[in-house]
Structure 1
Amino acid sequence: MSAPTDVTLELDDIQRGVLSPRPTPYAATYLVFRIDDRDQGRELMRRAGTAATSAADTSSPLGDTWVSVAVTHWGLQALGVPRSSLDSFAWEFRQGMAARARALHDEGASAPRHWEPPLGTHDVHVVIAAVAPDPPRLEEAIDRARSAYDRLPGVTAIWRQDCYALPSEKEHFGYLDGVSHPAVEGSGIPGSNRLEVPLKSGEFILGRPDELGGSAAPEPAVLGRNGSYAAFRKLHQDVAAFRRYLKDSSTTAQDEELIAAKIMGRWRGGAPLALAPEHDDPALGADPLRRNTFFYEQEDPTGFTTPRGCHIRRANPRDASVAGEVRLHRMIRRGAVYGPPLPDGVLEDDGVDRGLMFAFIGAHPGRQFEFVQSEWMNDGVFFGDGHTKDPVVGAADGRTRYTVPRRPVRRRLAPLPRFVVTRGGEYCFLPSLSALRWLGDLRD
């Protein structure tokens, strides 16, 4: 692990949605477009170069309100990007998320044939995301986004998803979300774990040195440099089934909360088991400077406090001894809930679609998002636990039990059903602002 050095990023050219944590609370909208006319698609890109917010724009009157613009492989094709340039993008991006279903364990109910149209098809060309602290300011952001695609009949809006983050910061299963955020050299944004050395900027920004000393970027440099990749996914949550599992696995209300904490790695008030092993600590959970500042290896290498198979330890093993270098698989994760909450105490599904819109940002989709999804979320070999799955988001088969380490006898819970089903998603490229203008200036 190398010590941090003075690094300067071209923040005025990087989209703000790449590096900036989202405000709390916030509202967001994802808009998906298909390009039917190449010239008008290029005009969309020209306008997007103005509508998208830069990472340097943190003190404008809009405050924590911004617009991000992303393009899929199919979108770059529709814009007429030369084949030599298309072939320089990451392999996973070029294939598209639907084609990567097996690697991502998007099978059964999560298979692309069940996805919400048009997600997973070659019609998804451009994704525009608008983010703001509240619905009124979100409308301002959407108006800003509209300036990019308004009066372009050759650019067709084909999908929209409204989502939000509650003031409580919780998602539908009742846990705090968005707690962990890595520090990136040169971003000026502190990480949520003060013990973690900032990661090289090339782990998230294309054309910059990464943890391996390399520098990956699509060609030409004006297109690839200062961009990033994003994997966005719509994930349906079966909240009633999750609640029933906790209730059926526990003996008391207190035991239910303990099981919920052992499954996630945090109490539902936000305090991590690593810092609050016996009971929840709401004050700790509400403190962003303390609730994520911990490691595992010295205090809890075997996982008696924070189980090695729990969700947060699988998603980010931190300093734990596992197969693979943890820092090579770090991502920026952004999540927002969609759909109304299931009322408290309800144990039967009401038929309403609810879940999470997730975005995973990084410069290496293969060794970041795909590795974590396939090797850490859906396998346990990396920490010596066979082929177990993540208990919250893993592709559970209804046969594998979740084990809670405990002395003198471990506790084995009932087989895990699948609580989260993929409803769609896609790999996107987040161009720099100068790259958006370059795409707008393309000529046949």
Structure 2
Amino acid sequence: MSEPTAGAVPTLELADIQGTVLRRRPDDYHGTYLLYRIDDPAATKRSLRAVLPKITSAADWESPRPFTLNVAFSHQGLARLGVPPESLASFAPEFQAGMASRKEVLGDSGANDPAHWTPPLGGPEVHIGVMIISGRPDGLREPVEAARQLAGVSLVYRLDVGVPVTGREHFGFRDGISGPYLIGSVEEPLPGQDHVQPGEFVFGYPDESGAVPNGPAPEVLGRNGCYLAFRQLHADVAAFRRYLREHARSPEDEELLAAKVVGRWRSGAPLALAPEHDDPDLGADPLRNNDFRYRDDPRGLLVPCGSHIRRANPRDGLADTVVQTRIHRVLRRGAAYGPLLPEGVLEDDGAERGIIFVFMGASLSRQFEFVQQVWLNDGDFAGLGAEQDPLVGNRDGAGVHTVPARPVRRRLTGLPRFVTVRGGEYLFLPGLTALEWLTTLPDPTVDPSTPEDTK
């Protein structure tokens, strides 16, 4: 297990932090993502006040209610609600600019370019994001109805998500295994989790340097909030299956190649602990399936240095470098959408399917953008030159993935694009007190001295 960072354990204000930041989703869940445009700020604020009691904090995540509901805002949405210009200017530059404008940093070119994104993603109409999750299908009815009661807004996007019947994401892998542990969090850490100071993810607390980072101003707006990066990723499952079939020596080798691309077997068992054969019992055991390191595998003979999970979280594999991995960690919440491609089918059926990734942290540039730009899109940090992430890399049939082996390494060439960005947004997930504060702001188009009731 990674050692905890030194220092006193901070007391987190759980009742003021939106629950999705600190709490794990159930293994079997159903959900929906809703994006709204604000048409009438005054009406929106009045209806948000009515929704406030249903928003889930980290303290009431396990309440009798069969759902969780969390709300976030884009920079334009905050402006529409009347956040003062000086406060809007206190947000991080990348948040103010929006995800689409950061395409050069994120590597969103070619088919991933924002010019090809699914509207309204990347456009000016996304102001409010609502995330609803339930452990059962009928649990969505109440929160979706509450979201429908929002006044002064137009629904511009809805995407329903959930866990496929297989319990795995579309490429066939068990998902959501690895993630950092926030020191002071309510949940118990699992073996193998990095212990990271909460200020790396939530404003108002010390980060890994021991300082409390500057968040959005005023403090009532920034405290207990965090940035959120929302990405809709289309999965070309048929292309992934075809590539494995065409480059494998046998059905067993097909599964090994898939594991060498991802770093885990489809069951979730890590190659670091099960290098030769899958171990479903290991994959299903949260006390074992994430408890490993890379220091004893510097060449990547067990887990290729360029594999997806080793790129997304290098663990101690960069211990002898200047890179401090803890300051580049992100909290991630993933969810599948769309129908499964039937088992064994090697041709695409034209259906829209993929994964929604939600990344949360206190710094979009140092966390989400760094991981995307340096660890996923660049091979130099691992001595792999121009190689990109073999699963989510942006390429057109020219990708390479090196699989170290004795006596001769194996190189997978001609990797096509398996994942295409359908769009994304940068949002801010405020604390509950900040949410209430937002509903009290005067409308920016009206004289602040004018009582709202007389407008």
TM-score for the superposition, normalised by structure 2? 0.93
Residue by residue, what CA displacement relative to the aligned partner does 1:388-438 show, whole Å, maximum 9, x if unpaired?
A: 100001112422321100011101112211110000110000011110110
Superposed CA RMSD in Å reads: 1.4
Instruction: Determine the structure 2 residue equivalent to 1:233.
Output: 231
Give the distance between the partners of 2:313 and 2:260, measured in 1 at CA: 15
Which of residues 204, 208, 211 in structure 2 aligns to 1:211?
A: 208
Residue by residue, what CA displacement relative to the aligned partner does 1:277-307 show, whole Å, maximum 9, x if unpaired?
A: 110000001111110111111x212211000
Structure 1 residue ranges (4+ consecutive) displaced by more than 6 angstroms after TM superposition: none
Which of residues 91, 112, 117 in structure 2 aligns to 1:110?
A: 112
Letter in 1 for 2:160: D
Letter in 1 for 2:27: T
Which of residues 244, 248, 258 in structure 1 aligns to 2:246?
A: 248
Give the distance between the partners of 1:44 and 1:204, measured in 2 at CA: 29
Instruction: Determine the structure 2 residue equivalent to 1:142.
Output: 144
Do the aligned residues in 2 keep the contact of 1:4 with 1:197 (CA within 8 Å)?
no
Which of residues 88, 104, 112 in structure 2 aligns to 1:86?
A: 88
Give the distance between the partners of 1:132 and 1:205, measured in 2 at CA: 24
Instruction: Determine the structure 2 residue equivalent to 1:311.
Output: 308
SS at match of 1:68: strand
Which of residues 52, 73, 82 in structure 1 aligns to 2:75?
A: 73
User: What are the equivalent positions in structure 2 for 1:158-173 lying under 5 Å apart?
Assistant: 158-166=156-164, 168-173=166-171
Do the aligned residues in 2 keep the contact of 1:379 with 1:388 (CA within 8 Å)?
yes
Contiguous gaps of at least 5 residues in structure 1: none
1:380 CA displacement: 0.9
Number of equivalences: 437
SS at match of 1:320: helix
Residue by residue, what CA displacement relative to the aligned partner does 1:188-233 show, whole Å, maximum 9, x if unpaired?
A: 22344x2445210101111211112232310000000000111011
SS at match of 2:196: coil
- CA 1:141 to 1:265, structure 2 compared with 1: closer, same or farther past 3 Å? same
Give the distance between the partners of 2:244 and 2:345, measured in 1 at CA: 13
Do the aligned residues in 1 keep the contact of 2:390 with 2:400 (CA within 8 Å)?
no
Letter in 1 for 2:383: G
Answer yes or no: is 1:378 the counterpart of 2:377.
yes
Q: Tell me the percent identity.
A: 53
Which of residues 275, 288, 291 in structure 1 aligns to 2:289?
A: 291
TM-score for the superposition, normalised by structure 1? 0.96
Residue by residue, what CA displacement relative to the aligned partner does 1:154-202 show, whole Å, maximum 9, x if unpaired?
A: 211111000101364311001111111211011122344x244521010
Give the distance between the partners of 1:357 and 1:259, measured in 2 at CA: 25
Give the distance between the partners of 2:159 and 2:413, measured in 1 at CA: 35
Instruction: Determine the structure 2 residue equivalent to 1:261.
Output: 259
SS at match of 2:59: coil
Do the aligned residues in 1 keep the contact of 2:229 with 2:425 (CA within 8 Å)?
yes
SS at match of 1:70: strand
Residue by residue, what CA displacement relative to the aligned partner does 1:311-359 show, whole Å, maximum 9, x if unpaired?
A: 0000000111255211011111111111000000000000111000110
Answer yes or no: is 1:432 the counterpart of 2:431.
yes
Instruction: Determine the structure 2 residue equivalent to 1:357.
Output: 356
Give the distance between the partners of 1:296 and 1:5, measured in 2 at CA: 29
Answer yes or no: is 1:3 the counterpart of 2:6.
yes
Letter in 1 for 2:154: T
Which of residues 154, 162, 165 in structure 2 aligns to 1:156?
A: 154
Give the distance between the partners of 2:196 and 2:407, measured in 1 at CA: 40
SS at match of 2:401: strand
